[in-house]
Structure 1
Amino acid sequence: MDLGRLRALRELSLRRTMAAVAEALYVSPSAVSQQISLLEEEVGIKLIERRGRGVELTVAGQNLVRRADRIFAEIESARADIAELKQVIAGELRVAAFPSVAAALIPRTLRSLSGEHPQLAILFEEMEPEQSLAALRSWQTDVALIDDLNVPPGALDPSIETLPLMEDVFHAIVGPQHPLANIPTTSLDTLRGEPWVIDTASSNYTRMLTEACQAVGFSPRIIARCKGFEVTVALIREGCAIAILPGLRASHDLEDVWVCRLTPEIRRRIFVAFRKGEKRSPALQAFLTELKQQAKN
């Protein structure tokens, strides 16, 4: 049974449309459709059914995907076994991380690894936690950095293993002329009535922020929704708005703004996720060791 066709079916079970699978596998939708058709011919039974613009797996398709999960897990475990026996830290390791943790940790981690293990190539891609977890499940990345704000522990696939990396504390960010400038600590209640700018990359972040404000008796007056950090900081710097941002983001390349600690604290936990059976891989171990060291600095 062709592994490429099995992978296409597994992707389809996760993404539901040929177009989404094609984007994930870097092929055309027609190529994905052909892979599925060939697999159906190979096994002699229908594996998918059309549902509007998407597809649903038949019972046979679902059973085959469950078996495919085990097959791919065994393949990755075998690769880890071989790498462990060779004890060579080389090859490629694909890493996905969301912007704030990526900016704070990934460049230093890559720089250190390039000196210690020149035969190891780290291929990095910026992704939000939910995206990187989907990429990990579909073998599009090998490591995903996630947080419990966007990926609750109960939402993790049983085939995924996680290790705690660090905790991140949120801060209030204000412009240099704001009344809170030069004040080290403030409460969330003092931000009542302020104009807010929020990062729209994560709907969970918006929900967390809104619920935290509502818990102290107000709803944030959001005047700007930004996808880019540069615009967010520009609005804060010019006194147009304030924001609550992760400490990792607040500690990186911020000029002409003031960072206030919040009381009580709002925290999130950050984890490293990878597929079970791959922890013994020397390349993964080298990356985890260096990443943990950078997280402590």
Structure 2
Amino acid sequence: MTLNPWRLRLLDVFERVGTVRGVAAELMLSPSTVSQQFSVLEKEIGTQLFERAGRSLRLTPTGRMLVDKARDLRDHLDSIEAEIRDASSGIAGLVRVGGFPSSVEPILIDTVRSLQRTHPRLDIELREIEPRESTTALHQGLCDVILTVDEHDGTLLTPAVSVIPLTTDRLLVVVPEAHRAAALDVIPVSELADDRWALDLPGTYLGELVPRQCRLEGFEPIVAGRFSSYAVLLAHVAAGLSVAVLPALAAIRRPGLVRRPTVGLDDRRIVAVVRRPNLNRQAIIAVIEALREVAHTKVVTVER
């Protein structure tokens, strides 16, 4: 029996995403190519790995066992490669780091500056990426380290990755300076039921979280605008056109704005996510340590 590591990787992705189309989308292949490779893999194994469940496929017990064994094998091979690379180069080479938009300037850029001083042979490539797309980028190999938000929905809890807590990011209400609620020490979201709102784009972390919280508090937000840029969103609020809820990292001080704590919304838990084999790379360890040090300095206080 000869097992092809690439086909085992396809199987690993299938176990995580659950469909042939999902595997194809993540690895940028056609669904027919994925199906063909699964057929070849079954021939290599000499047993059935998939079974029909209505119009969908699911893994047989043998298929699930192979996923577990193959993941261990792939992680071991990756660890060997990492150790060999470090033995020859030390803390050097390219590390690709992804992070959500509001983390790039305050955390990631400062981290790169720190690493340039401490490890000048290390080359960091940054990528801006939404939290809900980040683990896919990690598994696709587009990033080596991801700075993301743990939404407590279990999406980060897979056997293939390690999650390293870094810091928390407070969610704040942001209103125009002349707003009636600006005099309050704490602004409940319900206080803004009659206001017009500036929101993040649909499908993003905040674009879904804020409307959901408004509904929990008994009202549907009146949407004045949706913006992918937090700078534009803040300008909209400062102009007196809307109110918003933003994480403290994004709600930077600017004229015309007031930031206040709120209630009912948990702080964001900011974490670094790495594929387990990469934890053996000295370069990855150096990046995580630098991220931890910088993130701890970014605890934001709210002015009165």
Same fold (TM over 0.5): yes
Equivalent in 11, 15, 18 of residue 16 of structure 1: 18
SS at match of 1:100: helix
2:279 counterpart of 1:279: yes
* Structure 1 residues 36 and 278: alpha-carbon distance in aligned structure 2, compared to 1, 3 A threshold: same
Out of 19-28 and 160-169, give the one that drifted further.
19-28
Alignment partners' CA distance in 2, 1:185 and 1:196:
20
Provide the residue aligned with 2:259 in structure 1. 260
Provide the residue aligned with 1:98 in structure 2. 100
Q: Deviation string for 1:102-153 (max 9, x for gaps)?
A: 34212222244345434433333333334323443565532222323x2446
SS at match of 2:91: coil
Equivalent pair of 1:10/1:138 in contact (CA under 8 Å): no
* Structure 1 residues 14 and 126: alpha-carbon distance in aligned structure 2, compared to 1, 3 A threshold: farther
Alignment partners' CA distance in 2, 1:127 and 1:19:
22
Alignment partners' CA distance in 1, 2:124 and 2:51:
39
Out of 50-59 and 8-17, give the one that drifted further.
50-59
How far off its partner does 1:250 sit?
A: 0.9
Alignment partners' CA distance in 2, 1:100 and 1:53:
41
Provide the residue aligned with 2:244 in structure 1. 243
How far off its partner does 1:42 sit?
A: 1.6
Alignment partners' CA distance in 1, 2:53 and 2:215:
40
Provide the residue aligned with 2:127 in structure 1. 125
Q: Deviation string for 1:185-212 (max 9, x for gaps)?
A: 4321543422223224556646654565
SS at match of 1:141: coil
SS at match of 2:186: strand
Alignment partners' CA distance in 2, 1:49 and 1:233:
52
Alignment partners' CA distance in 1, 2:287 and 2:87:
18
Count of residue pairs brought into register by the alignment = 292
TM-score by length of 2: 0.79
Q: Deviation string for 1:38-92 (max 9, x for gaps)?
A: 2222222333346677532233322211111111221232234334544611233
Question: Quick one: which amino acid aligns to residue 131 of structure 2?
Answer: P
Out of 97-106 and 264-273, give the one that drifted further.
264-273
Q: Deviation string for 1:265-289 (max 9, x for gaps)?
A: 8422211122334333111111112
TM-score by length of 1: 0.80
Equivalent pair of 1:11/1:138 in contact (CA under 8 Å): no
SS at match of 1:248: coil
Out of 102-111 and 202-211, give the one that drifted further.
202-211
Provide the residue aligned with 1:88 in structure 2. 90
Alignment partners' CA distance in 1, 2:32 and 2:213:
46
- Aligned-residue CA RMSD (Å): 3.3
How far off its partner does 1:180 sit?
A: 4.7
Alignment partners' CA distance in 2, 1:123 and 1:50:
42
Equivalent pair of 2:99/2:146 in contact (CA under 8 Å): yes
2:44 counterpart of 1:45: no
* Structure 1 residues 51 and 117: alpha-carbon distance in aligned structure 2, compared to 1, 3 A threshold: farther
The share of aligned pairs that are identical, in percent, is 32
